[in-house]
Every structure is written in structure tokens, then in C-alpha cells.
A and B are shown apart, each in its own frame.
Chain A
């Protein structure tokens, strides 16, 4: 078929897509990206470097003194995506189904699963944190690097009614209606990162008209990339209750003062905070311990003794979470991550990743495949050597 003088464009494209050359070029590109991503971590931090080289379509570069950037390399997304297409298509098109190729099948299926698993993680993995002090309980986790504006009805002393507006909806000028309340909020301005200071006389008048905002000057900043740095987002929010404004509030992750208003006999609190997700169960920190090796400050162990209470399921038990020993519960995994307040506060990293098992499966498949493939090759090589030896012996 391929001997025909003019191949159809589709066949030519398929040939190119499944070619070994493309695989090699893509692997080489991936190496360049990985190397660049590694070296760039010195300046950009891991998160920044990964965003720039691995989780991008194109890698941009701005020559010194130039005003605009030019794309110099394809990013990790197209390279990884094409590699998976190349791998799958070549596997299906070229490799025969026979036992001699069993190892190659296992290797390549395992690799497809591995890369697919990474895509699943990149899309679906949710990272959060749970912070609690000894003797205290928590029934929510906080998303890392995601914020929300919360409107909390605190009228009932027994419970709070909370409504969170995720960052993605906080577009300048947007007006959002809070369900089951007569309230509407209008986003006057949202800044992903900012710096706050007490307003000086020469500063321009604040946009805020209510709460502590009028006394504060806000300067917008670009978002941070370093791994240990955190953004301080701020927002000017105009609250409309029953059609009339309650004033423009300045909300910020950098403001700890409680701000709020009353309307129709109910009291509301406003907050800009890390986005919360509530759990149908609660965790109580019974004890946090932090051991060091005698006479040193080398940490030997961190562990949180936690009471897990899930009323709906009638579960009430104690679990010990420590290094290399997370708690996996209802699709979330709780890891011992950090601590503070003189060893009385514990921070758990909470991860939801539906694809977490894929690397385990993939690793087993590929390793098995490599063993089978190289084992078979070695066997063939030895048979050939024996044959050569007998041939030499016969002459």
C-alpha cells in the first residue's frame, strides 16, 4: 500500500505521527524541557518553573532589552500530548500481537497509563490543607493557592450559614446574587496579590466606604511564583441589600479585623480567605508529637493523633497520622505536613486525586515489560552464541 507513488495526505500524516523519528524528537524535546525546568527552579521556584516549562503550550523567552517575548520551544503540554498520541498510535499500527513483543506491549501500555495518570492528576488533583490545634476539631479543609469571598450569616448562635464566592467569579464589575438571601454583591475590583498599608494623608482616597477599608491603602502586585511565598489577594466589594448599598468594603487576606453589616434583623460577616471545603466528618487533634534524636535538632518523627468522627456512618475512631503513613479516607488522603505554635498545632496536607493508583499499576506493567523484553533478547542472544560456537566447532 505504501508503495503507491502518491500517498494520501491522511496516510502521510499517520506515517509521520507514528514514526520512530517523531518519538525520538519528542523525547529529546522533553529532555530539554526537563533540564530547563530544573535549572530555572533556582530563580523561579518549583511552581513557577513547572508552570513555565511543563504546564504550558509554548515556552516564551524575552531577549535582554527586548520589549516583547518570542516563543522558543513547545511547552510540556503539546510535547507530552503528542508523545502519548505517537506512542498509542505506533503501538496499535506497527507492533504485532505476538508473544515476542509481549514485553514491548506491556512497557508502552504502562507508559501511556503513567502519562495519562499525570494528566489526570494535573486536571483533577485538588490540594488542600487542614490546620488544627490540640484539643480542637476541624470539619473543613482549605484549598492551597485558591481564595474566596465568604458571606457568613452569623445570626444564629448555634451555627453559621456560609456562602463562598470562588475566585474565578470575582471579575471586576460582576454582580452576584447570594441565594436564599436578599443580598447581592458587586465586585468593584479584585487583586490577586497586593500590599496593604495604613493610609497616609497624601494617599488618594480609598474606594472603600464601609468597614476598616477607608483607612487602608492597597497596592496591586503581580502574583508570586516562589514556592514558600503566598499571595495576599484583596477585593473591593459593594454589598447591595434589598436594592440599597451597605457600602463598599475592602476585603483582604491581609486583614484580620472582622467586618460585617446587618440587614433585615440578621447579621452578616464578610471575609476574603483561602477557599474552604466542608467535610461530612470531623477530625479532632488529640495530640501532636515532634521527636528529635537525642542531643540534636534532627527531627525523628512528627505525628498527629487524631479522632475521626463521622456521625452519618456511625464511625468514631482514633488514627495516627505520621511521616510516610497518611490517612486515606473517602477519596481524600491526609498527610502530616507541618506544625506550629510550639508543637501544639498540626498542619495536614489533604489531597484528592482520583488517579493516584495509576502510577502503581503503570510501574508494575513497565518493569514487568522491561524484564520480559530484555529477558527474551538475552535468551535469543545466548542461543545465537551457542549456535555460532557449534558452527565454529563443526568446521
Chain B
């Protein structure tokens, strides 16, 4: 017993280490410069105030599809990459950050396709005008009609332009730095340069008191010219000088001054940006994903080896994953000041959370290991999906006017996504049931029955939430544009889920389907939910057509294929028994045949 306690303690410590892994990085850059302190500074971009760390991560995600860069034989954080891009552009131009994998785009630049996917700006520099010409030609074609080459060339140009804007956020590239720009601000030429920065700057660093618009560096220089002192500009000039000189002390001092000025101007928004930095560093959804997958592997292992020891270990990791996942959701809600689901990305995080929680509750009720597998698997898969959906940039973008209603986001959207969680959990149990009856030699009919009762219970739960969520959506539509039901694709998708579960319930009550039918319909229910959740967005029509991606299409097609496969497994007669019956039949023919029951 004592050994078991030690093992559990070990599991708890491992879980804590994984959960806290984001904070182990010292956050120091070249010559000990405190990069995290810079990442904490507030800036306004995309309509909200956020830490520069978020902005850097999202920019790098948009350009490189990753949050870090490998260069100089070490890994640079997004913030350090941003610092280099803004203050040491010649160095940053050598970093391989642009993903180019379309052969035609490479061909345009006269490069053969190789295993290399990432190109530095230095390598693309001479082809800028060709890329720009092709991109502006392609842009005249409607986004949905573009060929692969056209989409790729537009994407590359957008990335290069974003990079160009970042370089011109705090100074003009090739100039003598911000201090020099400020010294010249009062001249005619200086004002022209200020105008250029004002137009190109990617984000705004000069805080305004109250809730107003912040200013970017160019606008600040013009205000300076008009006689309004801009102390934060001076701090940024000092910060830049210190960074280029590698003076860690002066850099930290300048960061503190900028942060203090931000606090004085808008303590609340800057405080929230500080939380966001901690949230970014903690990476709760990434760490949660790791915890879930370890728990899942332990559960699989427990089927073959020492179940009494491995299963409790898996539980500890699963609970840790759920705690981290929950913590992440709560922080996001606080930082954004919104209910947890605001876009496709956050819906994936939330559906996964709901499914993991449901699985954990089932495990607590039935204690057969099945709920735990479902919880860990759905938590893991949904966080992977969310991770891929995050590649478009800021996942906390501002809500368009019609969606700007915390009440309806909290009721309709949350309810309907909980319904999604339910259909996925039911589908996952059904999938497990289908695999189990082929894998096990003598499946216990009692266990099979209890799986069916779990599935049925979860489907009741899903019907309740899907129906309420669908009708609440109609009521929201009635409130915002005067019609309850408009046959919009997303509404239809939600209706399909409700109808499917209704058919399932009636068919079961009528005795038209039994255990196997219930399971098969639950697997199909997963496919229907996936269509309603992601598929209808890909049609590109209607009021909910947000978040379209090509990659998502192949992922969805893959998932549908998997559902068809599982459906086949579910409906096929148990294979082993077929083989054995055949063998038995043969032996009967050989010997004296007895009637086979």
C-alpha cells in the first residue's frame, strides 16, 4: 500500500511539473536582456489592449505558423523575435520564418522545391515585386474561387507585408533609431517620416487615459511636433538603445518606465494585459493536452499490465489535465471579459472540456475505465483541434456588433456547445463498444449493457442541451434581426443534431433499434455534429460563416472517414466469433453433425 502511495505522489508531482512547465524558461535573451519584461508591456492592436507577448506570438503564428523561431543555434521566443525584427532588422532578416511550400510560388522566385520549408527575408528580398504583382492580380479573384497558387501567393505577400509593418512600428528601417527620429521630429523631413510610421505601424504603444484610442509611434511624433510631450516615446527610445547595445540594466529600467506609464494611464486594461502574459506563459491548453495524452497512454497500458497500479496513476494525470484545462478556460474568460465560447477556436477548447468533464463524471458513476478513456481522448483531441485553429492569429479578437452580447453568448452558445460535447462523448463510447466487441474474445454482456446505458443517458443529456441551445439561438436571432428561424446553415446544422437524437430516442422506444443500433446511431451522431460544427462554416454562406480554412476541410473529411470506418466495425458481426463459428461448423461437418444453436 505504501508503495502505491509513493507512486501516486510521484504522479502528482509529475503532473504539477508538466502544468507549470511554462514558467521554467528564464525569459532572458541575448546578453541577459529580460525579454519577458518587454513582453509584458501593453500595446493596442486588433481593437484591444494586450501584452506585446501576445501580439508577438500571434504575428509569428501568422507568419511562421509556430510561436518560436530556431535561429543562431538556439530557440527564440516570439517576443525576442519581435525585438530583433524591430530593433535589429538586419539580424532578423536572416531568420528562417516564412513558410513557403507551394511549388508554384517557389517556381515564381526561381527556387526548386526542397525539404526546406522556411525561408528568411534575405532569401525572398529580391522577389518582393514579383510576389506583390502576382498577389494583387490574385486578390481581384474572390477568395473562394482562387487557385492553390493564387491563395499561396496572397498568403506569402500578406506575411511579408506584416513583417514589413512590424519593422516600421517603432522606427524607419535603416534609420538611426527612434532617438534620432525624435530629434528630427520638428523638421519637415522628420514629419514626413512620422507620417510614414503612422501609416505602417502594426501596433500602438502610446497609452491614452480613459478608454480612448492609443497612439502609434508616428502619431506620437506628430503630437510631439504639435507641442504635446510624449514621455513614453522617450522611454521607448532608451529601450531601443539599450537593446541594440545589449545593456540589460538600462533595458529593464526602460521597460519599467513604460509599464508604469501604462498603469498610470489605464490601470485596469494594463492589469488585464498582465494576466494575459501569465496565461500565455502558462500555456494551459498545451500542458493540458500533454497531461491528457499521458493519462490516455497509461490507461491503454493498464489494459495489458498491472491495472490496479496504472489506472489510479492515470486518474491523477487526468484530473490534473482537467484542472489545468479548467484553469485555462477561467483565465481566458477573465482576460477577455466574455463567456468562454466566442469563436471556433474557443468552441473546440470548450467542447473538449465539457466532454472530458462528462467522461470523468461517467467514470465516477460506472468505474469501469471507459469514462476515463473517453475523457482523456476527447480532451486531447479537442485541444489538438484548437491548437490548429489558433494558427490564424489572435484567438481573443473583438466581437462584431451583432455578437456583442454576453447574455446570448453565455446562454445560446454555451448550451449548444455542451450539446456537442454530449454527442461526442456518446459517439466515443459507441466507438469503444464497437472496437471492444471485435477485440475481446468473450465480451461480458453485462459490461456491454452498461455501456449502452451510459450512451443512452448521454444522448438524453445531449438532446436536452442541443434542443435548448438551438431554440435559444432562434430567440437570439429574433431579438437581433427579427426572425426566429431563417434556415441559415448553422441553424440547420443544429437542427440536424436535434432531429437525429430524436430519431434515435423514438427508434429505441419503439424497439426498432437495440444495443447495436443505438451504438451505430451514436457514431453517426458524431459525424453529424462534426458537420454541423465545422462543415457548415465551410459552405461559406450564411450569418455564421466564420473561420474557414482549407486544412480544416481535409481534417473534417478525415474525421468523417473515421466515423464511416467505426460505423462499419459497429455493424459488422463480431469477427472472432464468425471465424470460430466457421471453424466449429467445419469440425461438425467432419465429425457427426449436431444441430448448431
Contact = CB atoms under 8 A, between A and B. Distances in A.
A302 interface: yes
Nearest to A122: B485
Interface in B466-490: 467-468, 471-472, 474-476, 478-489
Contacts of A54: 487
Contact of B214 (A28, A31, A294, A378): A294
Contacts of A27: 499, 502-503, 506
Contacts of B46: 293, 295-296, 298
A298 B479 contact: no
27 contacts: A21-B510, A31-B496, A35-B492, A37-B487, A38-B539, A45-B541, A54-B487, A117-B484, A118-B484, A121-B483, A121-B484, A293-B48, A294-B204, A295-B44, A301-B401, A323-B404, A323-B480, A324-B405, A337-B481, A351-B483, A356-B478, A359-B471, A359-B474, A359-B475, A367-B467, A374-B460, A381-B453
A292 B47 CA distance: 8
A295 B476 CA distance: 29
A300 interface: yes
Contacts of A46: 486-488, 541-542
A42 B548 CA distance: 14
Contacts of B453: 381
A61 interface: no
Nearest to A293: B47
Interface string B526-561: 000000000010011110000000000000000000
A38 B489 CA distance: 5
Contacts of B24: none
Nearest to A294: B213
A20 B513 CA distance: 13
Contact of A37 (B467, B492, B503): B492
Given A114-B471, A323-B401, A362-B471, A41 B539 contact: yes
Interface of B: 44-48, 204, 212-214, 397-398, 400-402, 404-405, 408, 453, 457, 460-461, 463-464, 467-468, 471-472, 474-476, 478-489, 492-493, 495-496, 499-500, 502-503, 506-507, 509-510, 512, 536, 539-542
Given A367-B467, A367-B468, A377-B460, A295 B482 contact: no
B492 A370 contact: no
A42 B472 contact: no
Given A31-B499, A34-B495, A37-B487, A23 B506 contact: yes
Interface of A: 20-21, 23-24, 27-28, 30-31, 34-35, 37-39, 41-42, 45-46, 49-50, 54, 114, 117-118, 121, 125, 127, 292-296, 298-302, 323-324, 326, 333, 335, 337, 349-351, 353, 356, 359-360, 362-363, 366-367, 370-371, 374, 377-378, 381
Contact of B500 (A31, A45, A50): A31
The residue among B404, B486, B487, B496 with the most chain A CB atoms within 10 A of its own CB is: B487
Contacts of B492: 34-35, 37-38
Given A45-B541, A294-B212, 16 more contacts: A31-B503, A34-B499, A37-B487, A41-B539, A41-B541, A46-B486, A295-B214, A296-B398, A349-B481, A351-B482, A359-B474, A359-B484, A367-B467, A371-B464, A377-B460, A381-B457
A121 B477 CA distance: 14
Nearest to A53: B487
Given A300-B398, A301-B404, A359-B484, A42 B539 contact: yes
Contacts of A38: 487, 489, 492-493, 536, 539
B468 A363 contact: yes
Task: Give 4 nearest A-B pairs by CB, closest first.
Answer: A293-B47, A351-B482, A363-B471, A294-B213
A117 B485 CA distance: 10
A20 B510 contact: yes
Nearest to B476: A324
B499 A300 contact: no
A324 B471 contact: no
A343 to B, nearest CB: 13
Contacts of A35: 492, 496
Given A294-B213, A324-B402, A39 B539 contact: yes
B512 A24 contact: yes
A50 B464 contact: no
Contact of A299 (B401, B463, B467, B487): B401
Contacts of A28: 503
A15 B500 CA distance: 24
B188 to A, nearest CB: 27
Contacts of B512: 21, 24
Given A31-B499, A41-B541, A367 B45 contact: no
A363 B472 contact: yes
Nearest to A290: B401
Contacts of A42: 539-541
A61 B150 CA distance: 36
A288 to B, nearest CB: 13
Given A293-B48, A294-B47, A24 B404 contact: no
B487 A49 contact: yes
Contacts of A300: 47, 398, 401, 404
Contacts of B400: 298-299
A41 B489 contact: yes
B488 A24 contact: no
A303 B539 CA distance: 31
Given A24-B512, A27-B502, A31-B499, A370 B463 contact: yes
Contacts of B475: 359-360, 363
The residue among A28, A41, A292 with the most chain B CB atoms within 10 A of its own CB is: A41
Nearest to B212: A294
A118 to B, nearest CB: 6
Contacts of B47: 292-296, 298, 300
Contacts of B401: 299-302, 323
Contacts of B480: 323-324, 326, 335
B201 to A, nearest CB: 9
A298 B398 contact: yes
Given A114-B471, A360-B475, A367-B464, A41 B542 contact: yes
Contacts of B482: 127, 326, 333, 335, 349-351, 353
Contacts of A30: 499
Contacts of B212: 294
A49 B496 CA distance: 16
Contacts of B45: 295
A385 B380 CA distance: 33
Contacts of A125: 483
Contacts of B496: 31, 34-35
A298 B542 contact: no
A23 B475 CA distance: 26
Contacts of B460: 370, 374, 377
Contacts of B408: 324
B402 to A, nearest CB: 5
Nearest to A76: B487
A350 B482 CA distance: 8
B467 A370 contact: yes
B506 A24 contact: yes
Contacts of B481: 335, 337, 349
Nearest to A363: B471
Nearest to B490: A38
A161 B439 CA distance: 84
Contact of B506 (A20, A118, A292, A324): A20
A362 B471 CA distance: 9
Contacts of B484: 117-118, 121, 356, 359
B398 A293 contact: yes
A54 B48 CA distance: 43
Contacts of A360: 475
Contacts of A359: 471, 474-475, 478, 484-485
Contact of A324 (B214, B479, B486, B500): B479
A114 B499 CA distance: 14
A302 B402 CA distance: 9
B465 to A, nearest CB: 9
